Homo-oligomer: A and B are copies of this chain.
Amino acid sequence: MTDTRSTPPAGGDAPAATPDRRSPVTLSDVARASGVSLATASRAVNGSARKVRPDLHARVLAAAAQLGYTANGPAQAMARGRTSVLGLVVQDIADPYFSTMAAGVVRGAEQRGLVVTIGTTGRDPAKEAQHVAALRGQRASAVVVVGSRTDDAAVQARLAEEVAAFEASGGRAVLVSQESLPVDTLVVENEQGAEALARALTERGHERFAVLAGPPGLLTARDRLAGFRAGAAAGGGRVVDDLVLHGDFTRDGGHAAMHRLLDAGFDRGCVLAVNDVMAVGAMAALRERGVDLPGAVAVAGFDDISTLRDVTPALTTVRLPLQEIGERAVELLLDEEGGGPRTVRVRGEVVLRASTPDLRRG
């Protein structure tokens, strides 16, 4: 009981690939079975700068395979001082905006042999910092925070602090859509995209705009609104202040806000919902109220969520390369850093569809 724990099958041929009970086959077992030292076994099995003589190398690998050896992750992480975990923090993984981006991150990470852990904030920005802190404890090697971008300074400061601590501890961090922190950041050009959308809409003859604007404190929503306003003005149209309603950044938020808009007497014009999910909710509300869509009221969204492309009428929106954003975030993470924090800007592309007909040509 005091010696080397359960001894592996000592005889000539060990039971092959039979996952015995509590799989205690360690590197030592492999080393012993192949008659080399622990160090050599480690070098052969898990790679190292040092080379191992070919015959020994093969012998060790054979033994490992035959014993069904699997490296103990935590032990490796401990010895190396770092795991190969990439922590992804999002608001809600069920939201297609985040899940599409997550798919990109997962894809990039798996290619590079990283494991992705996912943390959700349930749209509470304060939880972002908590997750980053936890990730630091886990010795994650990287973290991607798809930011909520609030205007709550204390919350932002806390996040900045945690991210700094994370990086100080040797990890790499990338924020998506948050430009105000001194960290590598992937900025989605919401304002520019919204402006371009508004211009395109005015070119189609739309002039009077209402906006379903999302939560007041959410910078993403705010940027989109600001850009849209600017674009509308530039194109000769205008966003009517009384017709800017706030609501949740969700389908139901858009649905409710649209109802309120209709209640307020709005019955003609173009509505921007600051994301596609809200736009879909808004369209549902319009149908429920029997409003002619897109005849009387036109609707535009933002994001170009792929599963939402097939609504009727097809939704005008700004396409964001969500999956690509996820992949780029991983690239950014793994690239060697030159100097200070880098910023990568991603633009959206206006996609005009049937939900905002061309009024000029009919």
Residues of A within 8 A of B (CB): 19-23, 68, 70-75, 77-78, 83, 85, 92-94, 96, 99-100, 102-103, 106-107, 110, 115-120, 133-134, 136-139, 161, 164-165, 168-170, 251, 277, 280-281, 283-284, 287, 305-308, 310-312, 323
Minimum CB–CB distance from A170 to chain B (whole Å) comes to: 6
Asked if A170 meets B323 with Cβ closer than 8 Å, knowing A94-B100, A103-B93, A139-B73, the reply is: no
Complex formed: what's the CA distance from A22 to B170 in Å?
6
Verify B307–A251 contact, CB threshold 8 A.
yes
Asked if A116 meets B118 with Cβ closer than 8 Å, knowing A71-B137, A138-B74, the reply is: yes
Minimum CB–CB distance from A97 to chain B (whole Å) comes to: 10
Asked if A19 meets B312 with Cβ closer than 8 Å, knowing A74-B83, A103-B92, the reply is: no
Complex partner residue of A22 from B68, B137, B168, CB under 8 angstroms: B168
Minimum CB–CB distance from A65 to chain B (whole Å) comes to: 13
Complex formed: what's the CA distance from A284 to B85 in Å?
40
Minimum CB–CB distance from A49 to chain B (whole Å) comes to: 21
- In the bound complex, residues from chain B placing their C-beta under 8 Å from that of A73 are 74, 83, 137-139
Copies of this chain assembled into the complex = 2
Complex formed: what's the CA distance from A116 to B136 in Å?
15
Verify A136–B94 contact, CB threshold 8 A.
no
Complex partner residue of A23 from B138, B165, B310, CB under 8 angstroms: B165
Verify B78–A75 contact, CB threshold 8 A.
yes
Verify A137–B70 contact, CB threshold 8 A.
yes
Minimum CB–CB distance from A60 to chain B (whole Å) comes to: 17
Verify B310–A307 contact, CB threshold 8 A.
no
Minimum CB–CB distance from A53 to chain B (whole Å) comes to: 26
Verify A72–B22 contact, CB threshold 8 A.
no
Minimum CB–CB distance from A191 to chain B (whole Å) comes to: 26
Verify B119–A117 contact, CB threshold 8 A.
no
Residue of B nearest to A120 (CB): B106
Verify B83–A93 contact, CB threshold 8 A.
no
Verify B120–A117 contact, CB threshold 8 A.
no
- Beyond the given pairs A21-B168, A72-B137, A307-B307, 4 more chain A to chain B contacts, judged by CB atoms under 8 angstroms and listed by A's residue number, are A77-B77, A93-B99, A110-B120, A115-B117
